[in-house]
Amino acid sequence: KRLIFIGPPGSGKGTQSPIIKDEYCLCHLATGDMLRAAVAAKTPLGIKAKGAMDKGELVSDDLVVGIIDEAIKKPSCQKGFILDGFPRTVAQAQKLDEMLDKQGVKIDKVLDFEIDDVILEERITARWIHPGSGRTYHTKFAPPKVPGVDDVTGEPLIQRKDDTAAVLKSRLQAFHKQTEPVIDYYSKKGILAKLHAEKSPKEVTDEVKKVLS
């Protein structure tokens, strides 16, 4: 299956992706994770992306389109993929269509993680991440067994630099202005499915599976 997970910051895209990816043998392509890795490694891409990311603004379409164009061709993605956090502008969605046309494939479903903005600040500001695996925790909703420590590896957890209430405001603004039109774009194509992303992680997983069955 070829899927897109779309939704505001903290809506649960990164929480559901690893579960759904394992269930359907897909690859998980998260532009945010790839960009953060590039920033950490100080690659030319990371250096270009860092300023916008720190401010909670979108990085340029060309940069992210380039990342996806390369990643989507990998053998591990030939059975299908989850695009998490891409496309985020209508221009990115059009570029994606061109890429897929060339490969003779198309997107099966776009899952819209629908949720009210007011819930997101609590989710975002108490999120902890294991950088090695991408595993995500939450102080209240999904606490690790030992605070600040990854359950599986025992390694320390970190918080994302853009996970502050102030930067979240710009991220939400970018979502409403630039990404919501992408939801309309796929709705018109008839492949959009809306999820109740305010429900518990387990209930959201069940909704995704129902849509895909």
Q: Which residue minimizes CB distance to Zn ion?
A: 14
Smallest gap from Cβ 108 to Zn ion, in A, equals 21
The CA distance from 207 to 213, in Å, is 10
Answer yes or no: are the C-beta atoms of 86 and 94 closer than 8 Å: no
127 is catalytic: yes
36 is catalytic: no
Is 35 a binding residue for ligand AP5 by CB under 6 A? The answer is yes
- Out of 3, 4, 15, 93, the only residue in the binding site for ligand AP5 (CB under 6 A) is 15
The CA distance from 207 to 194, in Å, is 9
Whichever of 18 and 80 has its CB closer to ligand AP5, that residue is 18
The CA distance from 177 to 161, in Å, is 22
Whichever of 44 and 104 has its CB closer to ligand AP5, that residue is 44
135 is catalytic: no
88 is catalytic: yes
Length of the chain: 213
- CB atoms near residue 105 (< 10 Å): 13
Smallest gap from Cβ 141 to ligand AP5, in A, equals 4
The string of DSSP letters for 57-120 reads: PPPPHHHHHHHHHHHTTSGGGTT-EEEES---SHHHHHHHHHHHHHHT----EEEEEE--HHHH
Query: Could you give the residue numbers annotated as active site?
Result: 13, 88, 127, 160, 171
Site residues (CB under 6 A) for ligand AP5? 7, 9-15, 31-32, 35, 52-53, 56-59, 64, 85-86, 88, 92, 123, 127, 136-138, 141-142, 171, 200-201, 204
